[in-house]
Structure 1
Amino acid sequence: MYYFKDYLAYVLWGAIFDNRAVVAGFTFNTMISYYIIGSFIAQLDQSSGTGGQISREIRGGQFSKYMVRPMGVFGYFVSQTVGVSVFLLSFNLIAAVLWVFVFRVKFVISYNPFTLLSTLVICGLGLLFMMQLNFYIGILAFKFLDTGMFMMIKDNIMQFVTGSLIPLGLLPTLVQDIMRYFPFYYIIYLPSMLLMGENEGEITVGLVTLIIWNLAFWLLNKLTYKRLRTKYDGVGI
């Protein structure tokens, strides 16, 4: 789905750049490079499926098997999600490389070691936050009959606020400034820009912001799980 979106972006931006060379600081090559990189990063996030699994198992009564084992429930699902992401990593990388050749664009990427390392850390923190967000929505099934609507709304909003749909650099400056206070700006948009050698001055802010939000959601998940699990009878609700 993400790479089909890249094709649509290629057609759309191809028409736009036919009449101009630069749009909001992007050339045609950097714009398509952004979409390819952004789609690759987005495919690494498999936590939405994990959140749906948590919700289904709570509703179906199977979640009790995690509660009786001497392990951290959140840590288990993080490990499971990482395993799926790593398994799909090579396939997503091959798909991204193929799109570079299909689009026949001059792919833009940074070779600065510090920038690449910083991007890797920011991506990791961003994916961890998404795991925490989806875990939170998943455990809401302890209280709500169906969390599918929450997941659907979240997925649709994420397409825009993370920069997956369009680069956030196209938005008004005021909107960008507000979004920098939230973690979504740093999940796809900033890592994609960093890999193209842009926005390197935002690395520190990105790291600090993601760490703060991860800590906040870690505490929220811990308190919410501790409170709602007492309502679970182990055979579904």
Structure 2
Amino acid sequence: MGLRKYLEILKIFIKTQLAWRGDSVIQILFSLTRILFASLLWGTIFAGRDEVAGFTLSSMMSYYIISSFLTQLDMSSKVSMEISQRIRNGTFSKYMVLPVNIQGYFVAMEMGMVLFHLIIYFITSVIWVFIFRIRFVFAPDPAIVAGIGILILLGLFFMAQLNYYLGLLTLKYEEIGLFLMIKDNLVAFVTGSIIPLTLLPEHFLWIMKAFPFYYVTYLPSMLLIGRLKGELGMGLLVLFCWCVVLQAIIHVTWQNYRIKYDGVGI
């Protein structure tokens, strides 16, 4: 019975996406812009070169298509904005009286949005491969495909946790716009969405491996083009541990800050 509640929430948000099709079109066009920019940039960098940092032009563009696909699947930024807006206008109470766990509600909400966009973004990515005539590189070891899938799911869950936590900070700070701006810009860089992290200094990479963002977009993308196979096990372990730690932080934050909410707006 408990699981059925969250499945209903998931279904509701799949239907909600159908009502806001314009957002999907804009996001698809944004992905085109990113891939077009990457094609022009790396086409210039690779002029007269066969490889850059172990990448061929085909593998670099394949990386960008996959990382762009994974980046767009992360809808969790809407979670922090929704929570922040509801707390500030005094309507967060509606979630507190629902017969479901509040965090579970927002995780189910994101899952509904992700499932709707999954097929659309996959089809879009395939179309971009043909439009730009990219020799797509996709070479994961069949034995670790399941592991890659789990890593991607853990990454999406971690980002949902992170944005849920940032949303809860509104209970104390009222305005979290600065936190969200820092998070968005930092995450775009440290997840490898802007440039592959392998192009950065080696000591920086070693530091990044201790943090979860390395495993959210960069490592799955590299694994799917057949690279860094030996890092999957460590990636699963590190990301799982960070999910556990962040969940504990969320629990403490909620217990300490929920009493500050009066439900009457500001």
* TM-score for the superposition, normalised by structure 2: 0.87
* Residue aligning to 2:206: 177
Conservation of the 8 A alpha-carbon contact between 1:115 and 1:195: no
- The answer to whether the 8 A contact 1:3-1:39 is kept is no
Give how far 1:111 is off: 4.8
Does the 8 Å CA contact 2:140/2:223 hold for their aligned counterparts?
Answer: no
Matched with 2:235 is 206
Equivalent residue pairs, number: 237
Partner of residue 141, structure 2:
112
Distance in 2 between residues matched to 1:179 and 1:88, nearest whole Å? 29
**Is the contact between residue 192 and residue 214 of structure 2 (CA under 8 Å) also seen in structure 1?**
yes
Q: 2:118 aligns with which of 81, 89, 100?
A: 89
> Could you tell me which residue of structure 2 aligns to residue 27 of structure 1?
56
Matches within 5 A, 1:45-56: 45-56=74-85
* Contact 1:3–1:36 under 8 Å retained in 2: no
Aligned to 2:258: 229
Structure 2: segments with no counterpart, 5+ residues: 1-29
8 Å Cα contact 1:122/1:191 also seen in 2: yes
Residue 69 of structure 1, CA deviation? 2.4
Distance 2:122 2:169 in 1: 34
Match of 2:19 in 1: none
SS at match of 1:152: helix
Return the offset for 1:90: 1.2
Q: CA deviation at 1:145?
A: 2.2
Letter of the 1:164 counterpart: S
Partner residue of 1:11?
Answer: 40
Worse-superposed segment, 61-70 or 82-91: 61-70
Aligned alpha-carbon RMSD (Å):
1.0
> How do 1:155-166 residues align onto structure 2 when only pairs under 5 Å count?
155-166=184-195
Q: Report the equivalent of 1:43.
A: 72
Deviation, structure 1 residue 178 = 0.6
Partner of 2:13: none
Given that 2:43 and 2:57 are in contact with CA atoms closer than 8 Å, whether structure 1 keeps it comes out as yes
Match of 2:221 in 1: 192
Write out the 4+ residue segments of structure 1 that deviate beyond 6 Å after TM superposition.
none
Q: Does 1:220 align with 2:249?
A: yes
Give the C-alpha shift of residue 226 in structure 1: 1.1
Alignment partners' CA distance in 2, 1:161 and 1:3: 22
Q: Which amino acid aligns with 2:258?
A: R
Amino acid at match of 1:16: I
Structure 1 distance, partners of 2:127, 2:180, is: 31
2:177 pairs with one of 148, 173, 177: 148
**Of 87-96 and 35-44, the range deviating more from structure 2:** 87-96
Gaps of 5+ in 1: none
Higher mean C-alpha displacement, 66-75 vs 152-161: 66-75
CA contact (8 A) 1:142 1:231 kept: yes
* Structure 1 residue 227 displacement after superposition: 0.8
Residue 72 of structure 1 pairs with residue 101 of structure 2: yes
What letter is aligned with 1:188?
A: T
CA distance in 1 between partners of 2:32 and 2:109 (Å): 24
CA distance in 2 between counterparts of 1:164 and 1:2 reads 12
Q: CA deviation at 1:148?
A: 1.5
SS for the counterpart of 1:143 is helix
Question: Which stretch of structure 1 is more off in the superposition, 104-113 or 79-88?
Answer: 104-113
TM-superposed CA distance for 1:130, in Å, is 0.4
TM-score normalised by the chain length of structure 1: 0.97
